[in-house]
Chain A
Amino acid sequence: QSVLTQPPSVSAAPGQKVAISCSGTSSNIGNNYVSWYQQLPGTAPKVLIYDNDKRPSGVPDRFSGSKSGTSATLGITGLQSGDEADYYCGTWDTSLSDVAFGGGTKLTVL
């Protein structure tokens, strides 16, 4: 059982947009920065979004992050087949003194 809650899967057609949610509490998302990680099949995860809404250099602006209260959202526009991957949210949990990850969301581009 993950500390952060994500939908197990989302899907959309190429060119469309999708939003992946991540729900937590005041001890994690509510008072700490959120990161989003993309894990392509058979590869190591990589950071897409950090500090709620910042993109590392090299990450396309099709990817965006936002946070409101105890929830965060990863948005992806102009979906491509290469975006098919597992997406994880992550943050620090102050009460647990632990890094909390969501269970992951599998994105399928139909």
Chain B
Amino acid sequence: EVELVQSGAEVKEAGESLRISCRGSGYTFTNNWIGWVRQMPGKGLQWVGSIDPSDSYPNFSPSFRGRVIISVDKSISSAYLQWSSLKASDTAIYYCVRRHAKSETFDVWGQGTVVTVSS
């Protein structure tokens, strides 16, 4: 079964750093781009960015470029989303997503990681 399993919920203070993770299983990890989607409380979906696990080439939404880092460790089929200095406005659920190999769609979603940042 193809699956993306994310790390657990995080509670942080503003200004702290954070890295959340996403581990893929059930498929060849380097065959599909991995991305992140943000959902703020009670709001809709926003694409953060994606990365090609085969060469670690990232692509960011203009809204998030420079604010987050996306990385991957293909040896353990894992992708990461990290912040160097969190803000209260980063409070959200972050979903790890797999991009379909032949389509722009996000065909597999992780269970989500709740990030809460207090000011």
Chain A residues at the B interface, C-beta cutoff of 8 Å: 2, 32-33, 35, 37, 44-47, 50-51, 56, 88, 90-92, 96-99, 101-104
Q: How many B residues touch A, CB cutoff 8 Å? A: 19
Query: Is B63 an interface position by the 8 A CB rule?
Result: yes
Measured CB to CB, the closest approach of chain A to B111, in angstroms, equals: 6
Chain B residues at the A interface, C-beta cutoff of 8 Å: 37, 44-47, 61-63, 95, 100, 103-107, 109-112
Asked whether A35 lies within 8 Å of B106 as measured between CB atoms, the reply is yes
Asked whether A47 lies within 8 Å of B45 as measured between CB atoms, the reply is no
Asked whether A47 lies within 8 Å of B105 as measured between CB atoms, the reply is yes
Give the contacting residue for A98; candidates B62, B103, B105, B112; CB below 8 A: B62
B residues less than 8 Å from A32 (CB atoms): 104
B residues less than 8 Å from A35 (CB atoms): 103-106
Asked whether B109 lies within 8 Å of A44 as measured between CB atoms, the reply is yes
Q: A98-B62, A98-B63, A99-B61 are in contact. Are A50 and B105 (CB under 8 A)?
A: yes
Nearest 10 pairs between A and B by C-beta?
A: A99-B47, A50-B105, A35-B105, A44-B109, A101-B45, A104-B44, A98-B61, A103-B44, A92-B104, A50-B103
Asked whether B45 lies within 8 Å of A45 as measured between CB atoms, the reply is yes
A residues less than 8 Å from B45 (CB atoms): 37, 45, 88, 90, 101, 104
